[in-house]
Structure formats: structure tokens, C-alpha cells
Amino acid sequence: MPTSLLVLALSAFAIGTTEFVIMGLLPDVAGDLGVSIPTAGWLVSGYAFGVAIGAPIMALLTAKLPRKRALLMLMGVFILGNLLCAVAAGYDMLMLARIVTSLCHGAFFGIGSVVAASLVPANRKASAVALMFTGLTLANVLGVPLGTALGQAAGWRSTFWVVTGLGVLALIGLWRVLPAGHDEEAVDLRQEAAALRSGSLWLALGTTVLFSAAVFALFTYVAPLLGDVTGVSPRGVTWTLVLIGLGLTFGNILGGRLADWRLGTTLAGVFAAMAVVSAVLSWTSHSLLAAEITLFIWAAAAFAAVPALQVNVVRVGQAAPNLVATLNIGAFNVGNAVGAWVGGSVIDHGLGLTRVPLAAAVLAVLALIAVMFAFSGKPNQAQPVLD
């Protein structure tokens, strides 16, 4: 794999850390800025909405730029946003800084995945995308726990200073090692917009939303599930999240290899596995060892779909790879919000925490139905045009 992929993975690590670390720092941020925990929680939602809304806008704004220059510009926005987070004087300023940071997220992962796939032969495209997204999974394994610990020890602003430094390193790496891409074809904005008329594209994006909803319906409430049902201590929950992060990393790498083999079969198999394992967790959550094993398997199965979903969208939107790959990142974030709402609704209606995994299983089944419909009578191999 080219060195450029490692730099893209470093960029993904920095972006993933700044997205998720705020959840571990909410009490510190709330106390320092004099707001409630629920109010501080809107910093998470603000970022997600910024990704969903900003992704297509930034994709269009960077459409005429060479991909390397677009990635450098987006990383510059990332650095600026985190710098503003580190010096934010109040809650409103921090919210604005989070939204500025989020603007780079969707377009960077969308364009970055296209670049990653263009760096390798056709039979390794999904693996290349998976390597880039490994940075995102490692952000959950290392970046979030370390960033939370640093913020608790030295103040939450220190975490954003460090992430700003990571952004600078990523910017230098992208500038030094990323190919210039002089052979890129000029982007036709009318052609990019025309790609949105494809029903197959919207089905692929809908599949991504359903997948992400199935993940976050459970993931959002895994801490209370472990604490109230399994009986895990707060410190034990932290280590379980590390275990889940390892499962995400393993699944991401495995999913890239499988998607290079048979794309449709991989997606169908992953969604079926997610449905079964999520349902099983409703019963195994009462036992510590069984719950830990189930959650690791669930995490591995879940993130095995991420590179495949990204390749799947570009497969049906070959005429506008930058735009559709970026829209897919927005679809992930829409699914995050939908999943959190579904899981919360299950709890609000008094069905109990053990029913949340069953709701996640239902969403995974819907994703399975969508992908079976999308690939019925169509080629199963990946082989999208990503160059």
C-alpha cells in the first residue's frame, strides 16, 4: 500500500478523534462554560448536522479543484476549526467552532476515499478505502480515550490543541506525499448533479442510512446497557469501549478484503450477522463474559460494512464519484441521528434497555432487504470506476 494511504489514515484519525472525543469531555466542557450536560450534548449534534448539511455543499465548492488541492484546503478548515475550539471563550463560540470543523468531515472522507481507491489496482480498491478508514476506527480505540484522559488532566482545551497539531502533521503529509493527480478529468458540475437522479444511487445511500442507524441504535446506549443490565463498573465500561474499538478496527480491515472479493455478498452477510448478533445481545447482556464476546463480534461485523458501503455508492454513481462519496458520509451521519432516536424511543416507551438491541436488529434486517434488492440480477463484484 502506498505511503499516501497512511497519511490519509492519519488524517482520518485526527478527524475521528475530534468528532468523538467531545462525548468524553462533556462534563468538563459543561462545567467550564457554565452550561448543563444536555446543552453541552448539542455540541455532538451540532457537529453531526454540520457534516450532513455541509458535505454536499463542500463537495460542490471543491468540485473544480484537483483532489490533492481540495484535500489540503479541507484539512486547513479542520485545523482552523480545532484552533477555534481550543480558544473558544464561550459556549456559542465553541458551537460555531464545532460546526466549522464539521464542514471538512464529509468532503474529506468522500474525496479521500476516491483518492485512496485511485492509488491501487482495481482488485484492491476496497482494501485501500478500508485502510484509510482504519484511522477512524483507531480514533475510537486510541484517540478518544487518550484525548479524554488528557482533557480531564490538563483541561479540555488541551485536547483540541493536540488535535490541531495532528491536523498540521496531516496537512504536511498530504502536501509532501499525495500524488498531484495531473491526469484527473475536469469535473462537470452538471454531470455531478445529474448523477443524483439515479434511483440506484438513492437506494445505496438509503442502505448506508439503515446500516448506520442499526449501529447507533445500539452503540449510543451501550454504556447504560452495560452499567444497568450487565452490571459493569464505569471503568469497566471504558475498557469495554476499547474492546469494541478493537472489534471495529478488525472488522474494517476484514470488510475491505471481503468487499474486494464480492461486494454484494459481503454487504448482505454483514447485515445478516449484525441482525443476529444484535438480537443475541438482548439475552447475553445479562452475563459479563457473554456480553463482552457478543459486543466484540458485533463491532467487527458492523464496521466490516463501512468500506463496502463507500465502494457501493461510488459503484452506482461513477459519473460523480466525489459528490456521491461525500454524500455517503452525510448518509452515515443521518443514520447516526436516526439510530440514536430509535434507541431512545424504545427506552422512552418503557420497553427497557434489553429491547434496544432488538430494535437495532430490525434496522439491520431492513438494510439487508435493501441490499438484496439493489444487487438482484446485477454484478456482485466491486470494480467501481474510482480513478
pLDDT, tens digit, 9 for 90 and up, residues 294-321: 999 999 998 888 878 877 887 776 666 6
CB atoms within 10 A of CB 349: 9
| Confidence at residue 192, expressed as pLDDT on a 0 to 100 scale | 62
| Confidence at residue 319, expressed as pLDDT on a 0 to 100 scale | 62
Residue 298's closest CA among 290, 287, 308? 290
* pLDDT above 70 for 181: no
| Cα–Cα distance measured from residue 169 to residue 79, given in angstroms and rounded to the nearest whole number | 10
What's the grid cell of residue 20? 468523538
| Cα–Cα distance measured from residue 207 to residue 383, given in angstroms and rounded to the nearest whole number | 19
Integer-rounded Cα Rg, in Å, for the chain is 20
* pLDDT above 90 for 118: no
**pLDDT, mean of residues 118-127:** 77
What's the grid cell of residue 102? 464539521
* pLDDT above 90 for 225: no
| Confidence at residue 384, expressed as pLDDT on a 0 to 100 scale | 40
What's the grid cell of residue 322? 466525489
**pLDDT, mean of residues 326-351:** 82
| Confidence at residue 37, expressed as pLDDT on a 0 to 100 scale | 67
CATH 2.40.40.20 fits 1-186, yes or no: no
Average pLDDT of the chain is: 83
Tell me which range, 182-196, 200-214, 230-244, is most confidently predicted by mean pLDDT.
200-214
What's the grid cell of residue 337? 441521528
| Cα–Cα distance measured from residue 383 to residue 324, given in angstroms and rounded to the nearest whole number | 16
Predicted model pTM: 0.72
**pLDDT, mean of residues 278-286:** 93
* pLDDT above 70 for 114: yes
| pLDDT: which is higher, 118 or 159 | 159
* pLDDT above 70 for 212: yes
* pLDDT above 50 for 8: yes
| Confidence at residue 175, expressed as pLDDT on a 0 to 100 scale | 93
| Cα–Cα distance measured from residue 16 to residue 36, given in angstroms and rounded to the nearest whole number | 25
Q: How confident is the model at residue 378 (pLDDT cuts 50, 70, 90)?
A: low
What's the grid cell of residue 54? 455541509
Fold match flag (1-186 vs 188-387): yes
* pLDDT above 90 for 289: yes
- pLDDT per position as a tens digit, 45-94: 788 788 888 877 887 788 778 888 999 999 999 999 999 999 999 999 99
| Confidence at residue 362, expressed as pLDDT on a 0 to 100 scale | 96
| Confidence at residue 170, expressed as pLDDT on a 0 to 100 scale | 94
Fold assignment, 188-387: Growth Hormone; Chain: A; (1.20.1250)
**pLDDT, mean of residues 35-39:** 75
| Confidence at residue 101, expressed as pLDDT on a 0 to 100 scale | 93
Name residues whose C-beta falls within 8 Å of residue 128's C-beta, 6 or more positions apart in sequence.
1, 5, 116, 117, 119, 120, 256
* pLDDT above 70 for 385: no
**pLDDT, mean of residues 141-169:** 89
* Contact indicator for 360, 343 with CB cutoff of 8 Å: yes
- CB burial string 209-244: b at 16+ within 10 A, e below: bbbbbbbbbbbbbbbebbeebbebeeeebbebbebb
| Confidence at residue 207, expressed as pLDDT on a 0 to 100 scale | 92
| pLDDT: which is higher, 151 or 39 | 151
| Confidence at residue 12, expressed as pLDDT on a 0 to 100 scale | 92
- pLDDT per position as a tens digit, 346-374: 887 888 889 999 999 999 999 999 988 88
> What ranges do the domains of the chain cover?
1-186, 188-387
**pLDDT, mean of residues 139-155:** 83
Q: What angle do CA 227, 228, 229 make, to 5 degrees?
A: 100
Name residues whose C-beta falls within 8 Å of residue 236's C-beta, 6 or more positions apart in sequence.
226
Q: How confident is the model at residue 137 (pLDDT cuts 50, 70, 90)?
A: confident
